[in-house]
Amino acid sequence: MIQKVQTPYGTMKFKSARAADDFYCTIRTWREFHTRPEGWRALPISLEEAVTYHLAYTTGGFEEVEKVFAICTASSHKADVARAQADAERRAASETRYAIASLAPRDSALYREHFDMSYPGYKWGW
C-alpha cells in the first residue's frame, strides 16, 4: 500500500506504513530538535508535519524548519483565540438561556427545552 503525503513544499510517497513510521521516527531524532531552545516544542506530531519539515530542510536548512514551525504556531494560536471566543459566546448564550428558563414555569416548553439541552442523558435515558 503506497502512502502519499502532500505538503506545501512537495509530495512524498512511502511504500508501506512501516516505511512512513520509520521516516517519522527518523525526523523526530534530528539533533537540532534537542539542541536548540525551541527544538523540543517543534517536534513533529504527525507524518504530514514530518514530511513538511524534511522538505523545508532540503530547501533551506533548519532555519526554514523554524519558519515553518513559527507559521504553524501562529496559525494554531489564531485557532485557539477563535475557539476561546466561540466558547465565551456559547457560555454567554447558555447563561442567558438558563436565566430565561429559570423564570419560566416548570411545565412550559421553554423550561423543558432548556432542561433537555442541559441534561441530554435524562431525555435519552443514558
- Which residues are CB-contacts of 24 (< 8 A; sequence separation ≥ 6)? 44, 47, 50
Helix (H, G, I), strand (E, B) or coil at 2: coil
Backbone angles phi, psi at 11, to 5 degrees: -130, 145
Average pLDDT score, the chain: 82
**Domain map of the chain by residue range?**
3-97
- Which residues are CB-contacts of 49 (< 8 A; sequence separation ≥ 6)? 72
How far from the centroid of its chain's Cα atoms is residue 89's Cα? 20
Closest C-alpha among 14, 8, 2, 121 to residue 72: 8
pLDDT tens over the chain, length 126 residues:
678 888 888 889 999 989 999 999 998 888 888 787 766 677 888 888 899 988 988 888 888 888 888 888 888 888 889 999 999 999 998 888 778 777 767 777 877 777 777 777 766 666
d(CA 115, CA 120): 8
Query: What is the DSSP annotation of 20-80?
Result: HHHHHHHHHT-THHHHSTTGGGS---SHHHHHHHHHHHHHHHHHHHHHHHHHHHHHHHHHH
